[in-house]
Structure 1
Amino acid sequence: MARPPKELTPEKSVEDLLGSKIRKLRLAQGWEITDLAAKVFVSPGRISSIETANDPPGRDLTVKLEQVFGVDGALLELQMLIKSEAFKNYAQRFLRDQAGARSIHEFSPGVPGLLQTADYARALMALDFTDDPEGLEDSVVRRAERQEVFGRKNPPWLWVVLAEPILYQGRGSSEIMARQIDHLLEMGERPCINIQVLPIDQPAVPGSISLLTLRDGTRTAYAEGFSTGTYYQEPSDVDRLQRIYDHVQAGALDLDASAQVMRDARRKHQR
């Protein structure tokens, strides 16, 4: 027996309202999810995620849905509200997609969460949890849990460009930094992980960029600055961030030279 569709609460969020409208329009046409998916050239799973408010459509897909249903602007207006709405947990969707991604390419002015040791993560996040030690430990545990993707049968392909200054900037004690660099070197030996160092004299960007290729081939991007972040799903936005990433990577050292820079940095923390 087929499982009943998820009950939506349109008053709860714009995502629920948009998913509810799309489901009602589909049912009014007498279409199955597979029918609608074929008409807008996406997978049935993508339509299901939209209708259940788990992954709202981007602008391009919303326009296609409007054309198929013969409605003008009704869906796009809601999609634009979702895009402009301020979310406290702005990174949630990115982290969920990152956990299931086929490949991850990232530039980071700091050590990315997927490559942090627990001690480094704790030192890094301590200022945000000065009055909440339990919250700090919970965040450290959740960050470590994200790294479990590298222990699965088909781990993601991870390519990181790391800004050189972070190897020398203290996060906690010298011992913590030395162990963090050891961890980077160890992770870099895995066949699915590559780490390049961007030298100090090369141009960087003021923030991090993460490019994801999901299991179904969809490409997304996430850019983050100080306390702000944006998850991009529109192809034009992803292409723009891909070009920025490519320019940064072009200035990075090769893998062997990068490993040597990390070893040199580790020796400085041992003094």
Structure 2
Amino acid sequence: MSHLCPPGRAAEHHGVRDLAEPELLLDAWGQASVAPPAGRGAVLVRLAGLCPDLDRALDLGVGECAALAALAHATAFGREVAGVITCSSCGELLSAQVSLPTAEELVTAAAASGPRQVSVGEFTVRAPTTRDLLAAAASPDRACAVLLSRCVLRGDGSPVDPAELTQEEKSLLDEAAEAITAATMTTLCVRCPGCGEHVRAALDTAAVLWDRIDIAAPALMEEVAVLAGAFGWSEADLLAMPAARRAAYLERVET
């Protein structure tokens, strides 16, 4: 089966759903928490209304999924994000702050990073999708071979047998796939105070979005548990209550 046919396109990016809204936040946390780490971005992009169904979200190129995850983050939690990267020269852990692109820029980036492919010699390489990453994660000892077999075709359209590739061909194909994906990724850049090296790394916006949800959802559940225990209100009533009012009631419980 050819994997070079265009996957289902993302929605038209109208009406992004706010994943910080209480009911949607808990739904997002519940669904993404049981998904494989490589698939969480697709789950969250779908819940944010940026793809009509999970199947199509899984078939988005990883660059497109990352741009849409960044859009979901900007909508729910703002554009400012922090990351940690390791200096490639001295190994020091560095913290970096970055502002995500504007919503308009992210929509443009997602559209531009749709199913893309490049020719490398006799081969055609396309950007991997989340579905490809999940397949690779299922066979960690063969991850590279799995990605090559799924994302690369020969000139005649036949799939590639990774065992028949030279190391040089594998390196060239890997570099081509990275170049396709990296063009749409948000990048962290920081100067290492230890050695002075300028360090750059791609920001995993899907992981950052999940981290924010994984912090916010349990905190919200704790609020609901405290208020339900104190006043006997239902979860639905508490989730429908404005955050400021919940906070005011919490102060009265704690005092």
Q: What TM-score bracket applies, with the shorter chain setting the length?
A: under 0.3
Q: Which has the higher contact order (CA 8 A, sep 6+)?
A: 2
